[in-house]
């Protein structure tokens, strides 16, 4: 494929990704957690939403074996991906059918999520191998950064929209309440998810580099173990596994905690998700540029060392409120927890978005071209196995301390709760295990050691810093124009 054709394919992938991100925002954001809670789901049941997704990653290795024996991945991927998305009509309508037996509805939703997850994870190696074959390594960091900035906008819109819709209808557990809001948002999400697949089918599939006409099962275990024999791939995989484990422990339980302790509305919870997503939008291109400048391994280790420090903000929440009076606007009040977490989430979202880009880039450069699909499948399978315990641990801790609450109080007067225990686990795992493991990945040619990288990122003059960031974003946007010019010159 020539450069103009690759560039067109990347544009289509970004458009489809925007639709898919809107689907993801609803199906794995505020609505599904709040739906399970409205069905009187336990902490373990809420945790299972994520644990099911992680355990389903086990199917990636058989999937990789299967598609490596096929000359094309595209049609099979499209068919399976559509079925995967169709299962999300179940949360839209099942609560109505079992309104009098919420436990049955919750079980049916978990079964549908499990079926969807298994099929979705079968698609994972096909899609990632497809994209890894498509994206040139020299622009990988920049592309994923630009793509993240663009697709996250749809995440913001979908998250805000879903919170607003849910608040239009009374809580199903209250008199006169209904599941109408949940039906609306999950129906829209499922339709957008299917459109995502339809649009991505327009992306051309490069020649299948790891194609095997006949699969020799005698060397099956060697092929599965081979990627982990590479020390860099092994440490990278273990580091990200613990990263996801740590986030699985806190996961959706922050929303449950805020709704119980501070009576947050669905709209306020959506505002927090939106603020976290603004970070990747604003800093996606910048993160991609830094990766290309100092190296994904080094940048990822720096981000992993900083992110858990931001969780300390949860220990400073109080019941205070702030009153704001702006010209031409009425006076309004905002709670201190909402204001503080909005600010922290903006920064944390930018940093976590950078970690995500680092992962996509490292998968591309550390996976061997021969057998890349298998390497990607092994990577995600190990992550799934290790991180699956996180949500269950979080749910068990929540259930236990809901029955046997602490008598302690923080210095702000807020009771010490299950969520503070989860935050401590989160901090310890990332700061003392995940980040050090990332540093064990060998520095590649052109990358900087961590201390040298920190020095290169330091900018003393604020005006110069603004100029540098502007130039980075201008470079990112000029990427599209340059590729268009190349296409025109060839024509």
pLDDT at 453: 62
What's the rounded mean pLDDT across residues 213-232? 74
Question: Which DSSP letter does residue 335 get?
Answer: E
Residue 439 CA, distance from chain mean position = 22
Predicted local distance difference test score (pLDDT) of residue 490? 43
Output the pLDDT for position 345. Answer: 92
For the chain, what's the residue count? 491
Per-residue pLDDT band for 460 (boundaries 50, 70, 90) equals: very low
Has residue 475 been placed in a domain? no
Nearest in space to 252 (alpha carbons), one of 27, 23, 10: 27
On whether residue 486 sits in a domain, the answer given is: no
3-state SS, residue 322: strand
Token readout for 199 is 């649009």
CA gap 144, 368 in Å, rounded: 20
Task: Specify the pLDDT at position 207.
Answer: 67
Q: How far is CA 388 from the centre of its chain?
A: 15
Report residue 137 as tokens.
């390594």
Q: In this predicted structure, which of 25-29, 54-58, 335-339, 443-447 has the lowest mean pLDDT?
A: 443-447
Query: Residues 51-63: pLDDT tens digits?
Result: 888 888 888 888 7
Residue 464 lies in a domain: no
Question: Which one has a higher pLDDT value, 9 or 447?
Answer: 9
Tokens representing residue 276 in the block: 């976290």
CA dist., res. 206 & res. 208, Å (int)? 6
Query: How do residues 19-28 score in pLDDT, each as one tens digit?
Result: 999 999 888 8
Residue that wins the pLDDT comparison between 409 and 43: 409
**pLDDT digit string, tens, across residues 268-307:** 998 898 888 888 777 877 887 888 788 888 899 999 999 9
- CB 429, CB 389: distance < 8 Å: no
pLDDT of residue 47: 86
Yes or no: say if 169 and 67 are a contact pair by the CB < 8 Å rule.
no
- 126, part of any domain: yes
- Predicted pLDDT at 217: 55
SS (H, E, C) 377-423: HHHHHHHHHHHCHHHHHHHHHHHHHHHCCCCCECCCCCECCHHHHHH
Task: Look at residue 111 and tell me whether its pLDDT is greater than 50.
Answer: yes
pLDDT grade for 466, boundaries at 50, 70 and 90: very low
Q: Which residues does residue 324 pair with via DSSP β-bridges, in sequence order?
A: 332
Residue-level pLDDT at 216: 56
Greater confidence, 140 or 50?
A: 50
- The enclosing domain of 71 has a CATH number of 1.20.1250.20
For the beta carbon of residue 257, count every other beta carbon within 10 angstroms.
21
The per-residue pLDDT for range 173-199, each reduced to its tens digit, is 777 778 899 999 999 999 999 999 999
Tell me the pLDDT band of 90, cut-offs 50, 70 and 90: very high
> Tokens at residue 222, please?
């060697």
Q: Is 321 helix (H, G, I), strand (E, B) or coil?
A: strand
Q: What is the mean pLDDT of residues 431-435?
A: 94
In a domain, 427, yes or no: yes
Q: For residue range 355-405, list pLDDT tens digits in order.
A: 988 998 898 788 877 777 778 888 988 998 899 999 999 999 999 998 998
- Better-predicted residue by pLDDT, 254 or 325: 254
Rounded to 5°, angle at Cα 384 from 379 and 386? 100
User: What are 402-420's pLDDT values in tens digits?
Assistant: 899 888 999 999 999 999 9
Q: Is pLDDT at 247 greater than 90 in this prediction?
A: yes
| pTM of the complete model beyond 0.75 | no
Domain count, the chain: 1
Q: Which residue would you say has higher pLDDT here, 74 or 431?
A: 431
Confidence of residue 206 (pLDDT cuts 50, 70, 90): confident
Read off the pLDDT band of 108 (50, 70, 90): very high
In percent, the amount of the chain with pLDDT more than 70 equals: 86
> What is the average per-residue pLDDT within 55-77?
77
In a domain, 485, yes or no: no
Is residue 474 in some structural domain?
no
Q: Residue 341 has what pLDDT?
A: 95
Domain that holds residue 390: 3-213+223-458
Measured in whole angstroms, the distance separating CA 59 from the mean position of its chain's CA atoms is 20
Distances from the Cα of 197 to the Cαs of 14, 77, 184, 316, 408, in angstroms?
12, 9, 21, 43, 50
> Considering the domain boundaries, does residue 178 fall inside one?
yes
Asked if residue 469 has pLDDT above 50, the reply is no
The mean predicted confidence, pLDDT, of the chain is 83
């Amino acid at each position: 494929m020539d450069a103009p054709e690759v560039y067109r394919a990347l544009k289509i992938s970004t458009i489809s990704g925007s639709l898919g991100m809107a689907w993801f925002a609803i199906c794995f954001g505020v609505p599904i957690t709040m739906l399970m809670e409205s069905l009187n789901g336990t902490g373990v049941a809420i945790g299972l939403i994520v644990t099911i997704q992680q355990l389903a990653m086990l199917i990636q290795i058989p999937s990789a074996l299967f598609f490596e024996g096929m000359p094309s991945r595209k049609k099979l991927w499209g068919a399976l991906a559509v079925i995967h998305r169709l299962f999300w009509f179940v949360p839209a309508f099942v609560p109505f059918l079992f309104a009098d037996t919420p436990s049955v509805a919750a079980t049916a939703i978990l079964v549908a999520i499990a079926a969807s997850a298994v099929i979705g994870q079968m698609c994972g190696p096909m899609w990632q191998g497809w994209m890894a074959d498509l994206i040139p390594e020299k622009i990988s960091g920049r592309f994923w950064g630009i793509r993240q900035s663009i697709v996250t906008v749809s995440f913001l819109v979908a998250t805000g929209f879903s919170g607003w819709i849910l608040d239009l209808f009374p809580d199903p557990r209250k008199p006169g309440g209904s599941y109408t809001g949940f039906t609306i948002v999950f129906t829209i999400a499922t339709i957008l998810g299917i459109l995502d697949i339809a649009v991505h089918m327009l992306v051309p599939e490069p020649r299948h580099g790891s194609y095997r006409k006949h699969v020799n099962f005698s060397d099956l275990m060697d092929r599965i173990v081979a990627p982990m024999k590479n020390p860099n791939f092994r440490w990278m995989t273990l580091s990200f596994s613990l990263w996801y484990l740590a986030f699985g422990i806190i996961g959706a339980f922050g929303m449950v905690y805020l709704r119980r302790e501070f009576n947050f509305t669905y709209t306020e919870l959506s505002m927090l998700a939106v603020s976290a997503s603004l970070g990747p939008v604003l800093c996606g291109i910048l993160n991609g540029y830094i990766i290309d400048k100092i190296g994904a391994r080094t940048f990822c280790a720096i981000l992993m060392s900083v992110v858990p420090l931001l969780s300390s903000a949860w220990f400073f929440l109080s019941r205070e409120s702030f009153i704001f009076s702006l010209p031409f606007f009425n006076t309004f009040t905002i709670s201190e927890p909402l204001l503080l977490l909005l600010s922290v989430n903006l920064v944390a979202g930018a940093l976590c978005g950078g970690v995500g880009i680092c992962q996509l880039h490292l998968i591309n450069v550390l996976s061997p071209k021969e057998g890349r699909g298998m390497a990607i499948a092994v990577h995600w399978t190990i992550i799934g196995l290790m991180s699956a315990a996180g949500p269950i641990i979080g749910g068990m801790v929540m259930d236990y301390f809901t029955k046997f609450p602490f008598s302690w109080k923080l210095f702000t007067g807020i009771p010490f709760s299950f969520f503070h225990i989860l935050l401590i686990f989160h901090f310890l795992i990332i700061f003392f295990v995940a980040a050090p493991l990332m540093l064990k990945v060998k520095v590649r040619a052109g990358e900087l050691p961590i201390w040298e990288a920190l020095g290169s990122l330091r900018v003393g003059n604020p005006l110069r810093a603004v100029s540098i960031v502007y130039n980075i974003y201008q470079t990112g946007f000029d990427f599209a124009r340059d590729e268009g010019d190349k296409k025109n010159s060839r024509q």
